[in-house]
A = this chain, B = another copy of it.
Amino acid sequence: MGTSRSYDDACPIARALDVVGERWALLVIRELLLGPQRFSDLRRALPGASTNILTDRLRELEKHGLVRQDRLPPPAASRVYELTERGNELTPALEALGAWGAPIPAPDGRPGLSAVSMLLFLRGCLRTHPDPPTGVYCIQLDERIWTILAGESGAAVEPGDSASPDATLRTDPWTLNTLIADPTRLESAIASPAAEAGGDVASLRRLLEAASETGGGSTALRYPRR
């Protein structure tokens, strides 16, 4: 059943793969890196994974202590999945894997691109920028709102909105990717139904330009090298 086959190998790499080596497992972890997600959020972010596989992986990751299930306070009677501390410790491994995978061309057609992977990319760009912009931004992607806290000491991305953002943006992950690849398209995107902006748009544009300078120059989504 949920019993995954073991490599039966004492090497720590093999032991790690016994836990997170199955198909979709690491992408589920990726989706939880920026905060809790509901089952349906994961389903939208990973459309290639069928519901039974998603359930299997979540149960297994829960069993191994990487993922925890939480009930939200009364108003929202929904459950969310979130990473435990142990699950969060996979961050360096996922970043290293992403850095290695960055040069690989994206698959043909219109590949999927989740809000989380897009935001991870944006955060990575800002963190490696020599002179990052500062500000608070609320970005709505796929019906979910995220807050970007950009400062000189680093950049953070959190789920939920902020009381007083410098600027707001509503769009989809793919459009955001093109905007980081070419920030000059911001005005035309806002003029189209693909995006909508509010607040200090000039500040928003500086955010996109900073991201563009460190890694977004190419069309393909990339994670910056460390």
> Residues of A at under 8 Å CB distance from B?
6-19, 21, 23, 26-27, 30, 46, 48, 89-90, 92-102, 104-107, 109, 111-114, 117, 120-121, 177, 220-223
Contact = CB atoms under 8 A, between A and B. Distances in A.
30 contacts: A6-B107, A7-B27, A7-B48, A7-B112, A8-B107, A8-B109, A8-B111, A9-B27, A9-B46, A9-B112, A9-B117, A10-B112, A10-B177, A10-B220, A12-B97, A12-B100, A13-B26, A13-B27, A13-B30, A13-B98, A13-B101, A13-B117, A15-B102, A16-B97, A19-B101, A21-B23, A21-B26, A89-B100, A92-B96, A93-B93
Given A21-B23, A30-B13, A93 B100 contact: yes
A9 B222 contact: no
Contacts of A120: 11
Given A15-B106, A109-B8, A114-B9, A97 B93 contact: yes
A106 B222 CA distance: 35
